[in-house]
Structures are given as C-alpha cells and as structure tokens.
Amino acid sequence: MDKKRVLIVDDEPDIVESVKFSFELENIECLEAYDGEEALLKAKKEKPDLILDIMLPKIIGYKVARLLKFDESYKHIPIIMLTARTQEKDIKLGEETGADEYVTKPFDMDMLIDLVKKYLRKNE
C-alpha cells in the first residue's frame, strides 16, 4: 500500500500523538488538527485519504462530517468518528451526518488501525 494520509482531529494533543505514533508505525502519514475549524480547513487544503474525527471544539465533529460529506469535492473521503458518546441518538446522528464508522471509547488501537486500513484500501 502506498503511503496514505490520515487527518487526526482532537482537542487533546496526547490523544493525537498517541494515535499518530501508532499509525506512523504502520506507514500511515498523519496530519493533525485540534478543533473542527482547523479540521475543515486542513481537509479541504490537504485532501487526506481518511479523517479520524474525535469530538471537537469550535465546530463539532458532526458538522465537520456533514460539511465534507455533502460537498462533491470531499464526499469520497471516509470519516471515522471516535468518541465517548455511546447513546443511540449520538450514533444515529453520526451516521446521518456522513460518518462512515462510529467507534466509541475506550477503543482497541489494533482494531482502529485495521479499520483505518480497510478504508484506505477501499480508496486505492
């Protein structure tokens, strides 16, 4: 697999760094954003192969997903929402706004890496 780029978005730098470290060990290039506004700008500028979206300040992850998924230029980019929100209404909202996957915390890093790789292979 050619080196793919994933945009990791979270307001907690420790989480971003932890996920980034694991992904880079798998030869996945990582871009970072720390709020929804920055995520939207980076997604449009960098056009990553996948977005790992975690609950965000400024513009919430649901809105970021909706804005990207309903734009012809970006709707092909898979979005995985990684969140502590486990209620059925939150999962449904994630699906309705365009998330390809909705993963709840705590999560298994190996499972997350496998899921990301699955979506990266789909887009080859």
Flag whether 123 is in a domain: no
Judged against a pLDDT cut of 60, whether residue 1 lies above it is answered with: no
Q: Which residues contact 17 (CB under 8 A, 6 or more apart)?
A: none
- Give how many domains the chain has, as a whole number: 1
Q: What is the CATH number of the domain that holds 58?
A: 3.40.50.2300
Asked if the structure places residue 105 within a domain, the reply is: yes
pLDDT band at 44; cut points 50, 70, 90: very high
Given a cut of 60, is residue 121 above it in pLDDT?
A: yes
The answer as to whether 124 is a domain residue is no
Q: Which two three-digit tokens encode residue 18?
A: 């932890």
Taking residues 71-90, what's their average pLDDT? 85
Judge whether 47 lies within some domain. yes
Give the pLDDT band (50/70/90) at residue 25.
very high
Supply the range of the domain harboring residue 58: 4-116
- pTM across the whole model: 0.87
> What's the pLDDT at 55?
64
In a domain, 121, yes or no: no
Q: Which percentage of the chain shows pLDDT scores above 70?
A: 92
Buried b (16+ CB within 10 A) or exposed e, 4-39: bebbbbbbeeeebeebbebbeeeebebbbbbbbebb
pLDDT attached to residue 103: 87
122 in a structural domain: no
**Is it the case that residue 10 has pLDDT exceeding 70?**
yes
Within-domain flag for 19: yes
